[in-house]
Amino acid sequence: MKLSAFAQFAGFGIRTILFRKKDPILGTIILTDRCNLQCKHCSVNNITAVIYPYRQIKEEMQQLYGMGVRILFFCGGETFLWRDSGKCLRDLVLEARQMGYLIVNVVTNGTFPINLPEADLILLSLDGDRTRHNQIRGDTYDSIMENINNASAGNICLYMAVNQLNKDAIRDVCMTAKHTPNVRAVSFNFHTPYPDTQTLALSREEKAKCCDVIAQMMQEQVPVFNLRSAFPYLIDNRFPTPCHQCVVMENGKLSTCGRCIDVPGLCEKCGYFFVAEYTLLFQGNLKIIAEMLRTYLKFI
Ligand SMILES: C[S@@+](CC[C@H](N)C(=O)[O-])C[C@H]1O[C@@H](n2cnc3c(N)ncnc32)[C@H](O)[C@@H]1O
Ligand code: SF4
Ligand code: SF4
């Protein structure tokens, strides 16, 4: 990360903590909900299957930038399916950079060739070893690993959503992250139980066991892009929600924190690590602040 970007984030953090501000810094733009997969744990694919037009996405990028957002995520559906008006995902990343976003990340299922060297991080979903990943995501593991190996840059961060089907495969994903060239880190979420996927939710004890494994992996020098100090809050779901510093834009609709904000009762069961990490950070939790500084400077 450039020093000037770091200074801007530090200034934002200090203002937010001291004056209890609720301005956003992290924004996600949903490019489409169309997807080539139908993962067992996912409730947001192919509801409309519309690819949102380039002009609309560009306006949303400008709107979020105007609101002060400086960390931008492109998400879906499957982001690599997005193209419109002669533009593709890579063009959006380049335009976001030119617009002044300080960090530009993309989330993908990794089933398409990866040529996005300009993205800071490509969060690529890998949900276990071959067997458990394929159980959740269809027969995709081998082609994803091939795409990772052929990627044009080493900016990939594996992204695992831990649920009942893959809770025992955390170590496998960590080892893949550690030993695969082009993979810089691995980041975790716990399953967030939408009404149609409640059976995949983890109990408190299961979450505690998973956090023990992740902590062990951190000790074994696996590059984990999460904050250990947030684990106790994640295990007990006792972090504040929603995250006011995060916003999501989908098809012109702006939501605070996640598009899931409208699902009744879901925030109390939220499994997204970023929500715990950001809300605790902006509450001024000193352990989180120190660990976030170390972690972000290492991976971005
Ligand atoms: C919705 S997908 C969109 C991007 C891309 N299609 C992919 O799979 O990475 C974004 C991330 O959300 C995760 N996810 C989906 N449903 C979830 C849930 N209920 N709880 C936690 N993570 C979830 C996916 O595993 C994926 O890592
Ligand atoms: S690839 Fe992503 S958007 Fe598609 S079904 Fe799986 S988690 Fe959902
Ligand atoms: S806190 Fe609520 S809105 Fe935010 S990600 Fe979790 S479930 Fe979604």
The CATH number that applies at residue 88 is 3.20.20.70
pLDDT in tens, 62-90: 999 999 999 999 999 999 999 999 999 99
pLDDT above 90 for 297: no
| Mean of pLDDT over the chain | 97
Helix/strand/coil (H/E/C) assignment for every residue in 179-236: HCCCEEEEEEEECCCCHHHHHHCCCHHHHHHHHHHHHHHHHCCCCECCCHHHHHHHHC
Query: Rounded to two decimals, what is the model's pTM?
Result: 0.98
Q: CB 265: neighbour CB atoms within 10 A?
A: 8
CA of 34 to the centre of ligand 2 (A): 9
In a domain, residue 183? The reply is yes
Question: What ligand is nearest to the CA atom of residue 123?
Answer: 1
Supply 5's token pair: 């970007």
For residue 33, the ligand 2 atom closest to its alpha carbon is 3
CA of 143 to the centre of ligand 3 (A): 31
CA of 135 to the centre of ligand 1 (A): 15
Question: What's the rounded mean pLDDT across residues 121-141?
Answer: 98
CA of 294 to the centre of ligand 2 (A): 31
In a domain, residue 8? The reply is no
For residue 76, the ligand 2 atom closest to its alpha carbon is 3
pLDDT above 90 for 2: no
pLDDT in tens, 204-262: 999 999 999 999 999 999 999 999 999 999 999 999 999 999 999 999 999 999 999 99
In a domain, residue 184? The reply is yes
pLDDT at 128: 98
pLDDT at 237: 98
- What are the counts of helices (DSSP H) followed by strands (DSSP E) for the chain? 10, 10
For residue 241, the ligand 3 atom closest to its alpha carbon is 1
Q: Are 45 and 35 in contact (CB under 8 A)?
A: yes
pLDDT at 299: 86
Pocket test for ligand 1, best of 37, 123, 125, 134 (most atoms within 8 A of CB): 125
CA of 124 to the centre of ligand 1 (A): 10
Instruction: Give the H or E element holding residue 99.
Output: helix 89-99
For residues 126 and 141, give the distance between their C-alpha atoms in angstroms, rounded to a whole number.
Answer: 8
The pocket around ligand 3, CB under 6 angstroms, is made up of 192, 241-243, 257-258, 260-261, 266-267, 270, 272, 275
The pocket around ligand 2, CB under 6 angstroms, is made up of 35, 37-39, 42, 44-45, 76-78, 109
CA of 10 to the centre of ligand 3 (A): 24
pLDDT in tens, 135-170: 999 999 999 999 999 999 999 999 999 999 999 999
pLDDT above 80 for 300: no
Count up the domains in the chain and report the number. Answer: 1
pLDDT above 90 for 29: yes
For residues 80 and 273, give the distance between their C-alpha atoms in angstroms, rounded to a whole number.
Answer: 24
In a domain, residue 262? The reply is yes
Question: What's the rounded mean pLDDT across residues 16-35?
Answer: 98
In a domain, residue 252? The reply is yes
Q: What does residue 23 show for φ and ψ, rounded to 5 degrees?
A: -70, 145
In a domain, residue 5? The reply is no
In a domain, residue 6? The reply is no
Domain extent for 252: 24-299
In a domain, residue 11? The reply is no
CA of 43 to the centre of ligand 1 (A): 9
